[in-house]
Chains A and B, each alone.
Chain A
């Protein structure tokens, strides 16, 4: 992957018409821990894997509330993500102040994309090393966007970014057609399943994942650990295959109380609430 000659500067093209610095920035996104987003007609769920640099430290905050109707999950250089979240929050506040109505999500992502593009065309800057999954609800419905370090943005029904996101994407590709009409609870469950795919065998507990939701009549908020642990217990009991889950749902209700004792909320590396 060494393309040394034309990659010193973001303002240098390669003969093949590529900007290597921008592509390297997108690599940074792939190295970050996974973040997943899905949306239905009325709700958007954002989920992320909590990666802590060591057992002694807290995990990095990857999901941010931007406004009551917009949330963002990031993957890559979380410092860059934090800065961009602050920018998004300011934009929402200023728009609300001027127009006394919530900033449409589509507008915000364009502003974000334009901001990222600037960093790909100035020799004294570097591209943001973070991919953002922006979920929001406005007059035109629920939306999920992915913003790239390149300055591109795309709208998605469901998407996953970061390390081992391909596994989640495979799961989402199988199920995405049903998401538009999904209920709020099913959407959260699908997010957990997709997140589990990225863990690839690692034990799934509420301390390793963060789930957030926003929707019609529901401001953006992160689900608390107990709720998440309860949801995990519900589907762990039933077994591996999600399609089997629907048929075995009555059993799950009966078995869940028994399983609850065995999988109490894991207080291990509790997230640092900044």
Chain B
């Protein structure tokens, strides 16, 4: 008798795309609001973004049940941190926590492809935008911009063309963050989503954008094609 294969998977892919761009004094995090399964749409109005701390926002695509579970774990851990340290977690600290949390389930991973965005709050980098990008098991890197999810392959080459800066390892040290202004960056994000929506069936409906800067946090929506 041939070996029985599992005909059930604990994972599902709900599709969607997430993008984040870091600027000199702001950070834009965006995600579409479509939730799918297979070739069907479950809802056109689902948020993939969560504000974890004062200056940390996470957008995740993949399996939304795992994303939700991950968000709850991080929120609880942040509360604990606040009780112990009497302050909010900085973005780089949250980045490390997210990495550890993901690797903790290395052998049954969260099917969650994350981008973490926010403002750095340490020393001479205070107020600078930061973006961290992850794989499903916690490998992460600080970058100037990132895209994750079903539309990432369509968006990343475009962002490379518009934003890619020389390596920060070169001398003299060059910033990884984009010199673009906040308005320009938001416009770029809208363009990315409009383009991705054209060719990726899992991306569309609306794009939700969160902008963090010195004056706080702002939310914007833009309509996308519904087909």
Within the complex, the shortest CB–CB distance from B68 to chain A, in Å, comes to: 10
Q: Of the 9-residue stretches B79-87, B103-111, B165-173, which lies at the interface with chain A?
A: B79-87
Within the complex, the shortest CB–CB distance from B86 to chain A, in Å, comes to: 6
Counting chain B residues whose Cβ lies within 8 A of the other chain, the interface size class is: under 10
Is there a chain A Cβ closer than 8 Å to B76's Cβ? yes
Within 8 A of B (CB), among A14-46: none
Whether A89 pairs with B83 at a CB distance below 8 angstroms is yes
Q: Whose C-beta in chain B lies nearest to the C-beta of A66?
A: B83
Distance, CA A97 to CA B73, complexed state (A): 8
Whether A96 pairs with B86 at a CB distance below 8 angstroms is no
Distance, CA A65 to CA B82, complexed state (A): 11
Whether A93 pairs with B86 at a CB distance below 8 angstroms is no
Consensus secondary structure, chain A interface: helix
Within the complex, the shortest CB–CB distance from B6 to chain A, in Å, comes to: 29
Contact with A along B70-93 (1 / 0, CB 8 A): 001100100110010010000000
Distance, CA A177 to CA B205, complexed state (A): 58
Distance, CA A97 to CA B72, complexed state (A): 7
Q: Whose C-beta in chain B lies nearest to the C-beta of A67?
A: B79
Q: How many A residues have CB within 8 A of the partner chain?
A: 10
Q: Whose C-beta in chain A lies nearest to the C-beta of B77?
A: A93
Within the complex, the shortest CB–CB distance from A62 to chain B, in Å, comes to: 16
Within the complex, the shortest CB–CB distance from A188 to chain B, in Å, comes to: 23
Within the complex, the shortest CB–CB distance from B88 to chain A, in Å, comes to: 14
Within the complex, the shortest CB–CB distance from A187 to chain B, in Å, comes to: 26
Contacts of B86 in A (CB 8 A): 273-274
Contact of B76 among A65, A86, A93, A273 (CB under 8 A): A93
Contacts of B73 in A (CB 8 A): 97
Distance, CA A90 to CA B76, complexed state (A): 9
Contact with B along A43-86 (1 / 0, CB 8 A): 00000000000000000000001000000000000000000001
Q: Whose C-beta in chain A lies nearest to the C-beta of B78?
A: A93
Contact with A along B8-31 (1 / 0, CB 8 A): 000000000000000000000000
Distance, CA A273 to CA B73, complexed state (A): 27
Within the complex, the shortest CB–CB distance from A65 to chain B, in Å, comes to: 8
Contacts of A89 in B (CB 8 A): 79-80, 83
Contact with A along B137-159 (1 / 0, CB 8 A): 00000000000000000000000
Within 8 A of B (CB), among A171-229: none
Whether B83 pairs with A96 at a CB distance below 8 angstroms is no
Contacts of A86 in B (CB 8 A): 83
Q: Which of B73, B80, B83, B86 has the most chain A CB atoms closer than 10 A to its own CB?
A: B83
Distance, CA A96 to CA B76, complexed state (A): 8
Contacts of A93 in B (CB 8 A): 76, 79-80
Within the complex, the shortest CB–CB distance from A146 to chain B, in Å, comes to: 23
Q: Which of B72, B73, B79 has the most chain A CB atoms closer than 10 A to its own CB?
A: B79
Contacts of A274 in B (CB 8 A): 86
Contacts of A94 in B (CB 8 A): 76
Q: Whose C-beta in chain A lies nearest to the C-beta of B82?
A: A65
Distance, CA A89 to CA B80, complexed state (A): 8
Q: Which of A93, A94, A96, A273 has the most chain B CB atoms closer than 10 A to its own CB?
A: A93
Within 8 A of A (CB), among B35-92: 72-73, 76, 79-80, 83, 86
Distance, CA A95 to CA B127, complexed state (A): 35
Distance, CA A5 to CA B72, complexed state (A): 54
Distance, CA A86 to CA B83, complexed state (A): 8
Within the complex, the shortest CB–CB distance from B47 to chain A, in Å, comes to: 15
**The 8 A-B residue pairs with the shortest CB-CB distance in the complex, in nearest-first order:** A97-B76, A93-B76, A89-B83, A93-B79, A97-B72, A93-B80, A273-B86, A274-B86
Task: Known pairs A93-B79, A94-B76, A97-B73; list 6 more (Cβ under 8 Å).
Answer: A86-B83, A89-B83, A90-B80, A96-B76, A96-B79, A97-B72
Tell me the B residues contacting A by CB distance below 8 Å.
72-73, 76, 79-80, 83, 86
Tell me the A residues contacting B by CB distance below 8 Å.
65, 86, 89-90, 93-94, 96-97, 273-274
Q: What are 7 sample pairs from A and B whose C-beta atoms fall under 8 A apart?
A: A86-B83, A89-B79, A89-B80, A93-B76, A93-B79, A94-B76, A96-B79
